[in-house]
Structure formats: C-alpha cells, structure tokens
Amino acid sequence: MNAPRAVFAGSGIAVPPLAIDNATFARVLDTSDEWIRERSGIVSRRFVEPGVGSSVLGIEAARAALADAGMEAGELDYIVCATMTPDHYFPGVGTLVQEGLGIPPLPALDIRQQCAGFAYGLQVVDALIRSGLARNVLLVGTDVHSALMPLSPRSWDVLLGHDPGPLDAEELAANSRFRHLVVLFGDGAGAMVFRAEEDSGRGILGAVLYGEGAHKEILHVPGVGSARRPFVSIEQIANADVVPVMHGRHVFRLAVTRMPEATRELLARHGYGLDELDLLVMHQANLRINEAAQKALGLPDSKVHHNIYEYGNTTSATLPLCFHEARAAGKAPPGSLVAFTALGAGLHWGAALMRV
Ligand code: ACO
C-alpha cells in the first residue's frame, strides 16, 4: 500500500482587533507614513493587548482551522507549533495550544525557524503523516512581536492614544534608534489542519529547506540565552542586547535571491514548471522583496497574494495568514498547486509545495 499523504483539510487565522497605522508611530519615534509605505509596503499592523501571549492567538487560529476542516480537536493526534515569541522562555507553545483546545495529552512540538518556521512545519507534517506516525495534524504559526519591542510603558500609552504625549526628546531619540525594526512587525497567528489520506495527488508534495549559520549575525538577539551568564541581566537590557539586531539590506539581498531559487528548485524537483504553479505564497517581510521575487520568477499578479499592507511581518504566522486570505479570495481552490516560500533568521529559508 502507498504511503498516506498529508492532505490540507482546513485553515484559520487570529489577528488582534487593535490596528496601528504608520502615521500613529510618529507619536513615539522619528518616522513617517511615507517612509514606511515606500520602503516596505506596510500600512498598518495589529497588536495584542498587554499580557496576551502567542498561545492565545495560536489557540484561536487552531479552533478556526479545525472548524474549517470539520474536525473535532479531540481527533488530532499531533500538534506542531512554529513561533519565535513563545509565551515563556520555556515551555513552548505546543502544549499551551493542547491545553487551550481542551484535548487529552498528545505529542506537541515547538519549532523555531523564525520567518521560515511554517515552511519547515509543512515538511514536519508531511514526514509525520507519510511515515504513519500521525493521521490528523494541526500546524500553527503564531507570533506576538509587540512584546519584543523596546518601548517603555509610557511610549506604549502614547502610541495607543491612552496618553496625549508628547514624549520628551530623549525618549523619542531612544525609540528612534529601533525605528528600522519596530515599524515592520505585527502580531498574528494562522493554522492549518492536515489529514492522512490515500495518495490521490493532493496534499503536501515536498519541501526544499536550508539553514546556514554563517549568516546568523545579520538577524539575531545577542542576549537572553545560555551563551550569557546570567542569561538575562540589567546590563544586557541597558545595552539593548535583548533587542533583535537586523541588517536590513543584507537580509533584503538574501531574500530576493534565495526565495526565488528555492521555489525554482522545488518545482524542478517535483517536475513542474513555473507556468503550472497556481499560487506562490511568499513570506511577508517587505513588499519590495516580494515584488522583486515575483519579477525574478516571471509570475503574474494573479499568482501571488500580499497582505503585508494590513499586518506587517508576523513571522511564523505570515504564510498561513497569507494562504488563508488568498484562499478566501479564490486563489487556492481545491486541486490548485500552491508553493510557499520564506527566509528568516538563522539563516533559514526554503519552499514547500502543496496540491490543495
Ligand atoms: N522611518 C524613517 N526612517 C527610517 C526608518 C523609519 N522607520 N527606519 C530606518 N530609517 C532610515 C535609516 O536610519 C536610514 O537613514 P540614514 O540614511 O540617514 O542613515 C535610512 O532610513 C535608510 O535606511 P536603510 O536601513 O538603508 O533602509 P532600507 O531601504 O534598507 O530599508 C528595511 C530598511 C525596510 C528594513 C529593509 O532593508 C528590509 O525590509 N529588509 C529586510 C527585512 C527582513 O526581511 N527581515 C527578516 C524577517 S524577520 C525574521 O526572520 C525574524
């Protein structure tokens, strides 16, 4: 008997209602709607209320995906959860999702490949189902970036309009030091449910994935880890070692070359031409990256989907969030061939292929 396939059964998303537009950021740092829109394509992003961790969004997206799949949470036999912003240093979000869904114990795995997390997750789900280790798998991508942002409680109050401001010049300057980061990210979650089915050509077809530590320093958090003793300290906070370091131009250059390369390699490996692809779901870090990747691949607008305007970069949540909305827009009907591609910290990058 042929190995079963991981067939897509349903998707769901969770985005917080609080939307902050670009102009509002000018209350707390030196920026403008024009700069953000022109350089990144971002218009707005969503933020959770303080104290809402990634698991909360992940559970909501999981429930929506299960409802879409017509599956009871109790039918799941494996959870894979991608996040770079877990609620706690440990445990990860996998077991928090299991508990939130109110289901009996089951294997619950956290993976942390940052922006490429969901693409890696698709390969993990494929392997679990093909090997017969699992039959009904939930894959969640969830991130809460607002908690990572180096803004004081007062800055948050001014940003959210709870305090009329203005901030003093010193605080404005301190926040502006991170303006290249803070304006790019948002909070959100997306989930997909997969079922083991006899091979009929549908399901996850495969993935091409890479990790390369040589580029680790272009996107990383220098502090808060076992390489420091203690893993976090007042000095680290004062030095901003707890804030991500991002060499934006370097990341940009790698993304515009490696996402198209991985997509081409993936399609070739599975014997498809670019003309046979119905939809390419790209990580949403910067609209300019995706425009360049689309051009490099020669894909028409109808075969890509963007939602960075509304959400910014939601890291692990981006691929399922974008796929869900593309599907709602009729771009990924049953039987369509969909590729996912992403690049992020690690460096991790790659692409995954699915017949819906
Ligand atoms: N508002 C106004 N000005 C700004 C802002 C801002 N928010 N941010 C930076 N600037 C200024 C800089 O200070 C600089 O000013 P200077 O010329 O006086 O020094 C100027 O704008 C140009 O800055 P650059 O960093 O060179 O701008 P660039 O065109 O490269 O755009 C950006 C920056 C948007 C970050 C871009 O490089 C990018 O998107 N890179 C990729 C990011 C990415 O993909 N991250 C990975 C995902 S995250 C993950 O895996 C966790």
Q: How far is the CA of 263 from the centre of ligand 1 (A)?
A: 25
> pLDDT by residue (tens digit) across 193-233?
999 999 999 999 999 999 999 999 999 999 999 999 999 99
Answer whether 228 contacts ligand 1 (Cβ < 6 A).
no
Contact yes or no for 48/144 (Cβ under 8 A): yes
- Which pLDDT does position 292 carry in this prediction? 98
Of the candidates 158, 150, 216, 153, the one whose C-alpha atom is nearest the C-alpha of residue 183 is 150
From 22, 81, 115, 324, active-site residue:
115
From 22, 136, 286, 313, active-site residue:
313
Mean pLDDT, range 159-186, rounded to an integer = 96
Note the residue count of the chain: 356
Answer whether 251 contacts ligand 1 (Cβ < 6 A).
yes
- Which pLDDT does position 15 carry in this prediction? 98
* Secondary-structure percent of the chain, ordered helix, strand, coil, rounded to 5: 40, 20, 35
Q: How far is the CA of 248 from the centre of ligand 1 (A)?
A: 5
How many Cβ atoms from other residues are within 10 Å of residue 110's Cβ?
Answer: 20
User: Sign of dihedral through CA atoms 240, 243, 245, 248?
Assistant: negative
Give the mean pLDDT of the chain.
97
CATH number of this structure's domain 5-197: 3.40.47.10
Q: Whose CA is nearest to atom 37 of ligand 1?
A: 248
Q: Whose CA is nearest to atom 44 of ligand 1?
A: 285
> pLDDT by residue (tens digit) across 57-86?
999 999 999 999 999 999 999 999 999 999
Q: Whose CA is nearest to atom 5 of ligand 1?
A: 180
Q: Whose CA is nearest to atom 2 of ligand 1?
A: 31
Quick one: pLDDT band at residue 2, thresholds 50, 70, 90? confident
Contact yes or no for 350/116 (Cβ under 8 A): yes
Q: How far is CA 237 from the centre of its chain?
A: 26
- Residue 6 β-bridge partners: 196
Radius of gyration of the chain (CA): 20
Kind of pairing between the strands at 5-14 and 44-46: unpaired
Answer whether 286 contacts ligand 1 (Cβ < 6 A).
yes
Atom index in ligand 1 nearest the CA of residue 344 equals 50
> pLDDT by residue (tens digit) across 26-42?
999 999 999 999 999 99
Answer whether 248 contacts ligand 1 (Cβ < 6 A).
yes
Of the candidates 339, 1, 63, the one whose C-alpha atom is nearest the C-alpha of residue 196 is 1
Q: How far is the CA of 180 from the centre of ligand 1 (A)?
A: 5
1, pLDDT greater than 70: no
CATH 3.40.47.10 residue ranges for the chain: 5-197, 203-355
What is the best residue among 22, 39, 84 to mutate for testing ligand 1's pocket, by most ligand atoms within 8 Å of CB? Answer: 39
Task: Measure the CA–CA gap between 157 and 4, rounded to whole angstroms.
Answer: 52
**Residue holding tokens 């609209």?**
287
Answer whether 264 contacts ligand 1 (Cβ < 6 A).
no
What is the best residue among 180, 287, 314 to mutate for testing ligand 1's pocket, by most ligand atoms within 8 Å of CB? Answer: 180
- What's the fold here for domain 203-355? Peroxisomal Thiolase; Chain A, domain 1 (3.40.47)
Q: Whose CA is nearest to atom 40 of ligand 1?
A: 248
> pLDDT by residue (tens digit) across 222-269?
999 999 999 999 999 999 999 999 999 999 999 999 999 999 999 999
Helix (H) or strand (E) holding 263: helix 248-269
> pLDDT by residue (tens digit) across 293-350?
999 999 999 999 999 999 999 999 999 999 999 999 999 999 999 999 999 999 999 9
Answer whether 123 contacts ligand 1 (Cβ < 6 A).
no
- Residue 246 β-bridge partners: 219
Active site residue 115: yes
- Amino acid symbol at 163: D
